[in-house]
Structure 1
Amino acid sequence: MERYLKRLCKDVWRYVEEGPHVPVLTLVQADGAQARLGGAQATMNRPTNDDLDKMEKYAIAFYEISCGVAPDNFDIIINCKSSKEIWDVLKNLYRGSEQAQDKKLTTTLNDFNNFKALPDESLEDSFKRVNLIITKLSNASIVRRNHETNLKFMNGLGRHWTTTKMIVQGDRKTHTLFIQTLW
């Protein structure tokens, strides 16, 4: 959702993070002087074009983020008053608390560090599993070099892949290839 809204317009995403733009309206008397609230013959200035543009972008943010919520979760956000409030609720729902996020990260790091192909697992299933682990690390802003992920995958495959590992490592392909290409 964040990528989508940023691509739509950077300002739209800003209103998700910061909340709505509230224009400052002043009361002006007929003679042009500012009036106090409740003053006689006072009228309100109209919002500026900049204010209108910001309010429109906020409305887009609210609409887009609301429409992006799965029907099953709509009841959770129905009472939210701003796109920022919706985003905060959704972050907590999908990411969990900081403690839960730390636990997920620790589990993912352990899964990466201890990766081994299972005894009856096909090469394709092993690749899918290591690729999922790498994606989880990437989502947590932990990026591994191609060389490291390729070696982790190949070394986790087991002894019957030793010849293939030696050939690939001998060509130094592990340094340059993406794991998807190596697969």
Structure 2
Amino acid sequence: MESKKYLEWQYMQRPPLFESDGFIYWKNRFETYVKSKDLDLWHVITDGDFPPIQNNPETKKDEVVPFHKQNDDLKKKLAKNNEAKMEIYNALPRKEYERILICQTAQEIWDTLLITHKGNNQVKANKIDLLVQQYEQFMIPEEESIDNAFAKFNTIITSLKALDEGFSSKNYVRKIPKGIYLQNGARKSTPIEESKESNLTLD
């Protein structure tokens, strides 16, 4: 019931609602939302909190500044730490919020979500291996429409990009025609393969 009351994008201050079943989709949209709002917030989420440090003009060194000595500019910068956490909190349902409740910083929250829903390095490597295999074995049966086949192909390459793994655009363009097969299993040559044009787009 709580999620039904959440009208995504009705107000610009509300980020996209978290989707565990479509984590990569949500992650990319959330990243774009935060960056469009404030690049400093995305820096805090990915690189960590801004520390209460300022250059001392007398010693010429960076020093930790007590709260009562912080100027307005530094306080505004430090406020980004809580703003970044609030952006993530606003996107999470209660179940996910309870998962990251012990996290102290936005970066810790973000890393926890990534590990939980995207997996650690080993899980990520396994996913990449599976997607690369699907990419290499991709084929389009004669009875399947190009639109349907392209949608499947696009899902594979988008998933690879989301895992920071991908092939060149030129490779994508050449892969589509190489995957077209006739019903008898013979591969069908296409004008794209025969073309010497080197800067064709995937579209």
- Give the TM-score normalised by the residue count of structure 1: 0.72
Which residue number in structure 1 is paired with residue 172 of structure 2? 149
1:30-109 aligned within 5 A? 45-109=68-132
The amino acid of 2:81's aligned partner reads Y
Which residue number in structure 1 is paired with residue 182 of structure 2? 159
Question: For 1:10, which of 39, 45, 51 is the aligned residue?
Answer: 39
**1:112 and 2:135 matched:** yes
Gap change, CA 1:114 and 1:73, over 3 Å in 2: same
Superposed CA deviations along residues 94-121 of structure 1, whole A, max 9, x for unmatched, are 2112111000011111111111125754
- How many pairs does the alignment contain? 159
Q: Distance in 2 between matches of 1:7 and 1:83?
A: 18
The amino acid of 2:167's aligned partner reads R
Quote the offset at 1:60 in angstroms.
Answer: 1.5
The amino acid of 2:34's aligned partner reads L
The 8 Å contact of residues 41 and 81 in structure 2, kept in 1 or not, is answered as yes
Quote the offset at 1:71 in angstroms.
Answer: 4.9
Q: Distance in 1 between matches of 2:120 and 2:140?
A: 31
Quote the offset at 1:156 in angstroms.
Answer: 0.8
Quote the offset at 1:72 in angstroms.
Answer: 4.6
Which residue number in structure 2 is paired with residue 32 of structure 1? none
Choose 1 or 2 for highest CA Rg: 1
Q: Distance in 2 between matches of 1:73 and 1:129?
A: 30
Gap change, CA 1:143 and 1:64, over 3 Å in 2: same
Gap change, CA 1:159 and 1:120, over 3 Å in 2: closer
Gap change, CA 1:153 and 1:70, over 3 Å in 2: farther
Q: Distance in 2 between matches of 1:140 and 1:108?
A: 10
Q: Distance in 2 between matches of 1:177 and 1:15?
A: 39
1:159-178 aligned within 5 A? 159=182, 162=188, 165=190, 167-173=191-197, 175-178=198-201
Superposed CA deviations along residues 3-52 of structure 1, whole A, max 9, x for unmatched, are 4333332322222234334536xxxxxxxxxxxxxxxxxxx733222321
**More deviation, 154-163/110-119:** 154-163
Let me know the Cα RMSD of the aligned residues. 2.7
The 8 Å contact of residues 118 and 124 in structure 2, kept in 1 or not, is answered as yes
Superposed CA deviations along residues 134-155 of structure 1, whole A, max 9, x for unmatched, are 1122223334233321221111
**More deviation, 67-76/81-90:** 67-76
Segments of 5+ residues of structure 1 without an aligned counterpart are 25-43
Which residue number in structure 2 is paired with residue 19 of structure 1? 48
